[in-house]
Structure 1
Amino acid sequence: MTCPSSFSSRALGLVALALIPLLPVTASAQAAAPAVPELRADSCSVEGLMDSIRRGLSSKSPAYRKYLRTLLRESAVTLPDAELRAAFERETDPAMVEHLAAALVARTERGADPAAMGVVAKRIQEERDPALRIASLRALRRTSATENTGDLYERLARDASPEVRQEAATNLIEDNQFVYSGHHGPAADAAVGAAAASTDPKVTARILDNVSTEHISPESADRLKSLLRSDDASVRAAAANALGGVPSEQMASSREALLGMYRDEQDLGVRKMLLRSIAQLGFAGAIPDLQRLRGVDPRLVPEVDAWIRALGMGLQEWSLILREKQRLQQAP
């Protein structure tokens, strides 16, 4: 099978761009350049592309390896679906699994096959080898997987492998940041749901500390409030941090939850985060609350005073308030 005509011109352009760094400029450079595996005429069939990728994995050229991955993703919409799925389901090499999973994900992302991403999710849930679960997970990164894979991430947050749990957390964080720019409520809700479902404090805290909560649902806000009662201090601090960024309609109840927690909390780091989020939720309106909390913990009097002074400047951007608060604490 040869490359489909609809793909060949695009692939040719990708080849040219990817291989430019490999072109020698002198005869001596040509002699020293690493050998690049030959692309055969049948390399746009599933088996042909897989053979090229297997050979390419041994290349010392990052550009060529990147090209092969791009070639498979770009040609995914024209490849026979049954062959691609079968190749993915029987593959056991992690690098190849990631390439094939990425091709299936690309089919869904480009509207060629809505069910293809589900094939990847299904294998992740059924695969026994953590390395292969991780490889498939990486193919879902920075895609619409949080919206198209059901409760996959909640399941993975409880995975038996710590490495798999961390990979799932990375996906949720990067999807939130790079796909949705922190502005998509369902993606943020999926991240909060996975964080709440996890029994791994490191995973829970990492997700909550790195995901925007400015568009979460009331149900997700309630989950964050429940995490304020966690036995793990890092989880309590991360939940407090996340509550500082909730939507306006959830600010009042979140602020009350944080204020009610402050007096009984014993961990210094958690108390600092509580102060920060109380300030974030109230801006200048938080000053009276902070004044009432000032004497609860003598160790944090300078911290409270810095917040009160920064909020008292009347700044309307949180980033500016943070900058001024930091400057005040560093001042002699």
Structure 2
Amino acid sequence: MLRPSIFRASTLGLLALTLCPLLPLPAAAQQEAPALRPQACSVGGLMDSIRRGLGSKSEAYKKYLRTLLRESAVTLPDAELRAAFERETDPVMVEHLAAALVARTERGADPGAMGVVARRIQQERDPALRVASLRALRRTSATENTGELYEQLVRDASPEVRQEAATNLIEDNQFVYSGHHGPAADAAVGAAAASTDPKVTARILDNVSTEHISAESTDQLKSLLRSDDAQVRRAAVNALGGVPTEQMGGARETLLAMYRGEQDSGVRKLLLQSLAQLGFAGAIPDLQRLRGVDPALAPEVDAWIRVLGMGLQEWSLILREKQRLQQAP
């Protein structure tokens, strides 16, 4: 799914039809920036300008140059851009070139350009260059357009690559799809389940909306409840609290069954929250039955019962009211 921004006709794109685009420099950068001269648009010329600009003390100017290359992407020679990306070894330049290729796909100019970036990530031996290329995929349609790339990257040998992949999945779901696109959320859950790094799994599940995931993704979350790692179990419990309406009944039964056997108090506390989220006022009888299982959590159960009994219909309001009650003297 292409983002609406791909249809925007930018000033840079129009200028690039004949010359390398030259926008007015930000005021803060004008004194420090080297003069740019109109020339036939080429990848080499733009890259030379960017390399020189990296030495500038002006962040505004460096941002201008990054934008320049990305916005010019649709008019640059495709073969030249790909070749420059594939031979580049400086992480900063790799990220800029990768962003230009991604922009070509995002704007409908070259459906295969994003795949060039994905292939380099898969084949690149230097983790710093894998990370640089990954950053160029952030907040794009890459979650949908790069197949099982993220399921591979969350198992990468480099912790930095694994965390970068998690960041991409989280930010794509939040900023590109606003948590409302099932396939993107499914991709995130699939990657979390595929990960062998508990920190990565937990981070993804704690930060991705599950309100539109498929039944298959819900089953993956249930399987993670059997993890030996408590932080993974907590995150899976948290994620199950937000599943679609048609999957709430099964999730509720699974979490109820888990509560009695769970030994970690932090996981048990999250179980109570997710049960409340799945049932609202309808969860009160279940919570009452669980009250005696763990005496240490009886006050937590009581707080949920009291808040759910208020009849509030928005989860955010329920959470806020519970927090207020527990902070009250």
TM-score, structure 1 normalization: 0.93
Superposition pairs of residues 135-284 of structure 1, within 5 angstroms: 135-284=132-281
Q: Is the 8 A contact 2:106 2:141 kept in 1?
A: yes
Paired letter, 1:20:
A
Residue deviations 1:128-182 (CA, integer Å, cap 9, x gap): 0000000000000000000000000000010000000000000000000000000
Tell me: CA distance 1:43–1:163, structure 2 relative to 1, closer, same or farther (3 Å): farther
Mapped to 1, the partners of 2:193 and 2:76 lie a distance apart of 39
Among candidates 105, 110, 126, match of residue 108 of structure 1: 105
Residue deviations 1:27-53 (CA, integer Å, cap 9, x gap): xxxxxx5x3122233373100000000
Q: Does 1:124 align with 2:110?
A: no
Q: Is the 8 A contact 1:40 1:48 kept in 2?
A: no
Q: Is the 8 A contact 1:157 1:168 kept in 2?
A: yes
Among candidates 21, 28, 32, match of residue 28 of structure 2: 21
Q: Is the 8 A contact 1:85 1:104 kept in 2?
A: yes
Tell me: CA distance 1:284–1:20, structure 2 relative to 1, closer, same or farther (3 Å): same
CA RMSD of aligned residues (A): 1.5
SS in 2 for 1:41: coil
Mapped to 1, the partners of 2:307 and 2:290 lie a distance apart of 16
Mapped to 2, the partners of 1:82 and 1:241 lie a distance apart of 46
Structure 2's unaligned 5+ residue stretches are 1-12
Paired letter, 2:236:
A
Q: What is aligned with 2:317?
A: 320
Among candidates 32, 38, 46, match of residue 49 of structure 1: 46
Mapped to 2, the partners of 1:320 and 1:11 lie a distance apart of 49
Q: Is the 8 A contact 1:262 1:274 kept in 2?
A: yes
Q: CA deviation at 1:248?
A: 0.2
Paired letter, 1:262:
Y
SS in 1 for 2:261: coil
Q: CA deviation at 1:19?
A: 1.9
SS in 2 for 1:263: helix
Structure 1 runs (4+) greater than 4 angstroms displaced: 3-10
Tell me: CA distance 1:4–1:321, structure 2 relative to 1, closer, same or farther (3 Å): closer
Tell me: CA distance 1:4–1:251, structure 2 relative to 1, closer, same or farther (3 Å): closer
Mapped to 2, the partners of 1:293 and 1:44 lie a distance apart of 69
Residue deviations 1:271-329 (CA, integer Å, cap 9, x gap): 01000000000000000000000011111011000000000000000000001111111
Q: Is the 8 A contact 1:154 1:197 kept in 2?
A: yes
When the two structures are aligned, how many residues end up with a matched partner? 317
Structure 1's unaligned 5+ residue stretches are 24-32
- Identity among equivalent positions (%) equals 82
SS in 2 for 1:42: coil
Paired letter, 1:278:
L
Paired letter, 1:73:
R
Q: CA deviation at 1:232?
A: 0.2
Q: What is aligned with 1:27?
A: none
